Structure 1
Amino acid sequence: MDFSLGTPVRPFLRTRIAPTPSGYLHLGNIYSFVLTATLAQRHGARILLRIDDLDRQRAQRAYIQDIFDTLNFLEIPWHEGPRNADEFEREYSQVHRMELYHKALTELREKQALFACDCSRSKIQLADATGAYTGHCRTRGVPFDAPEVSWRLRTDNDAPLTVHTLGEPVVEGLPREQNDFVVRKKDGDPAYQLASVIDDEHFGVDLIVRGMDLWPSTLAQLYLARVLGREKFLETTFYHHPLITGPGGDKLSKSAGATSIQYLRKEGKTRADIYTAIAQNAGITEKVENWLELGTHLLALTR
């Protein structure tokens, strides 16, 4: 896949920083935010702060506050969206967009594009060691209003999907791990793939920056947008970046407290210290003072 930066620079309207408040932000989150901000400046795009809080059990107030504290401490800019946790809860939480999500789910049911599934994770794992869904409930006729059922999208169309990038478009099929993916969870809430598509279209996002680990999600979201006929999302440009890894080569997670910005700040680390640590992880030897210096270095590595 060619994810190199294209030339000449073309304009975009809007990109977004979209953290999930399920833990304290860590170095990997900041890596992605810095790339987003740098690409936004380069392409003349506005930055939306969109906090994905659909998982209300994990979206703790402390984690939401940490997003604002960290962005402000590191001086990472955003132009649209909430400026503090109270404004977020009052106006921008995903709970305020439930009507949009449920409207999309209704559209999918009317298109007969869904089926209900009562399989547990353990049952799915037993059927396939990789955890990929094998279609057990496709023809069982499980009622949509039965308790403890998820709604899955029928992924029958094997036509390739086109991912627009800053370089050449990439054409791929839906990966096996995304077969019949969930669009409504067992608790009745919309699943991540559906909410992400609806949110990005709602806010007019036309440039999405995310890690390579979300490449399968990008393909799933494009598949969903195709079923829903959401042409604007299908024209969105994606930039997928490599991931920061820990000492053992594993992807950083929010449970890895020593890489959280909150922990590093308590240890007395400055903005420059944090940006330099990210730079060193990416193989950059110079000291880095701010987000734009770091982003410029990181983007240069992709050429």
Structure 2
Amino acid sequence: MPEQFKNFNKTRIAPTPSGFLHLGNVLSFAITAALAQKSGAKILLRIDDMDRARAEEQYIQDIFDTLHFLEIPWHEGPRNAEEFNDSYSQMHRLHLYQEAIDQLREADLVFACTCSRKQLIENACTCFEKSIPLSAPDASWRLRTNNSHELIIKNHNGLTARAVLPVDMHNFIIRKKDSFPAYQLTSVVDDMHYDVDMIVRGNDLWASTLAQQELAHALGRDSFRDIAFYHHTLLTDDIDQKLSKSAGATSVRYLRENGKTPADVYMLIARMLNIQKPIGSFIQLADEWFQQQNPA
């Protein structure tokens, strides 16, 4: 385990209940839990259920079943699905998200967009120039981004990375057409609300990290820049595609129901990573993974 991971207070496991958790999720959880253990950080369980069309009770329950089955710990947040629904759902923090949206609107940092998904695929959004009223029906709200200024991301090892907002994140959505806040906004507000100072996520979310830094800057949440990020490579299948929650054979639920033990699950991930040593726990998996990523 890298010696650079020290003196963090809180990290988080933040799954979305849009499908049954798969082996790629487990790898990310294992890395998060191992780094928390080594750095003394507490782990927050934060379930991102703002996508109301896809969040289902069976997927929420699967999160708890998976964490308990694999003995992955957490210290803050709901202990079961009932407590999550009663006290920890993002629906209970809608007022915080709305305050952030109102702040951006009052600062004239948002514009309305009525583009369909097909229009966005075929052409870049041009609604910025149309001055569509924010009250227009079926309109999402987008952040007016500064696409040229440099964003600074603090790494896990105390160093910084510098980048500009990628083209596909220009003027990203902060409020969806259904009037619910979008992922980038809820993630920033939640991480600030819970005082998270270390975030572990896959490389596929690098663009989201940059978008969230841009949003935090627009909101004046300068302390967001002090959060350390660790972006890890993804677990892939036989044809080098990242795992999907629709791929049932790699779901922990499928493996558990077919008699696999936690050690079997960790060993399966290890083999996918070409790790040949016996693996029986999340900490062993993470240790071997880091050694593989950072050979002596």
Asked whether the two chains share a fold, i.e. TM above 0.5, the reply is yes
Q: Residue 111 of structure 2 aligns to a residue in which SS? A: strand
* Partner of residue 258, structure 1: 249
Q: Which runs of 4+ in 1 moved over 2 A?
A: 7-10
CA RMSD of aligned residues (A): 1.2
* TM-score normalised according to structure 1 size: 0.94
Is residue 100 of structure 1 aligned with residue 96 of structure 2?
yes
| Deviation at residue 300 of structure 1 after TM alignment | 1.8
Is residue 160 of structure 1 aligned with residue 150 of structure 2?
yes
Per mean C-alpha deviation after superposition, the further-off stretch among 212-221 and 291-300 is 291-300
**Equivalent of 1:66 in 62, 66, 69:** 62
Equivalent pair of 2:147/2:170 in contact (CA under 8 Å)? no
* Partner of residue 167, structure 2: 176
* Partner of residue 229, structure 2: 238
**Equivalent of 1:140 in 100, 105, 130:** 130
| Distance in 1 of aligned mates of 2:17 and 2:33 | 20
| Distance in 2 of aligned mates of 1:249 and 1:107 | 42
Q: Residue 115 of structure 1 aligns to a residue in which SS? A: strand
* Partner of residue 205, structure 2: 214
Q: Taking structure 1 as reference, are residues 262 and 9 closer, same or farther at Cα in structure 2, changes over 3 Å only?
A: closer
Unaligned runs of 5+ in 2: none
| Distance in 1 of aligned mates of 2:238 and 2:246 | 15
Q: Residue 301 of structure 1 aligns to a residue in which SS? A: helix
Equivalent pair of 2:174/2:181 in contact (CA under 8 Å)? yes
* TM-score normalised according to structure 2 size: 0.97
Unaligned runs of 5+ in 1: 128-133
| Deviation at residue 156 of structure 1 after TM alignment | 2.6
Q: Residue 141 of structure 2 aligns to a residue in which SS? A: strand
Q: Give the counterpart letter for 2:9 in structure 1.
A: L
| Distance in 2 of aligned mates of 1:266 and 1:38 | 26
Percentage of identical aligned residues: 53
Deviations 1:212-271 (Å, cap 9, x if unpaired)? Answer: 000000000001001111122111000000000111111100000000000001111111
Deviations 1:162-210 (Å, cap 9, x if unpaired)? Answer: 1111232110000011011000000000000000000000000000000
| Distance in 2 of aligned mates of 1:243 and 1:60 | 25
* Partner of residue 11, structure 1: 7
* Partner of residue 268, structure 1: 259
| Distance in 2 of aligned mates of 1:8 and 1:122 | 45
Q: How many residues align?
A: 293
* Partner of residue 185, structure 1: 176
* Partner of residue 215, structure 2: 224
* Partner of residue 83, structure 2: 87
Q: Give the counterpart letter for 1:272 in structure 2.
A: A
| Distance in 2 of aligned mates of 1:213 and 1:89 | 29
* Partner of residue 286, structure 2: 295
Q: Residue 100 of structure 1 aligns to a residue in which SS? A: helix
Q: Give the counterpart letter for 1:203 in structure 2.
A: Y
| Distance in 2 of aligned mates of 1:166 and 1:8 | 7
| Distance in 2 of aligned mates of 1:135 and 1:156 | 15
| Deviation at residue 296 of structure 1 after TM alignment | 1.1
| Deviation at residue 10 of structure 1 after TM alignment | 2.4
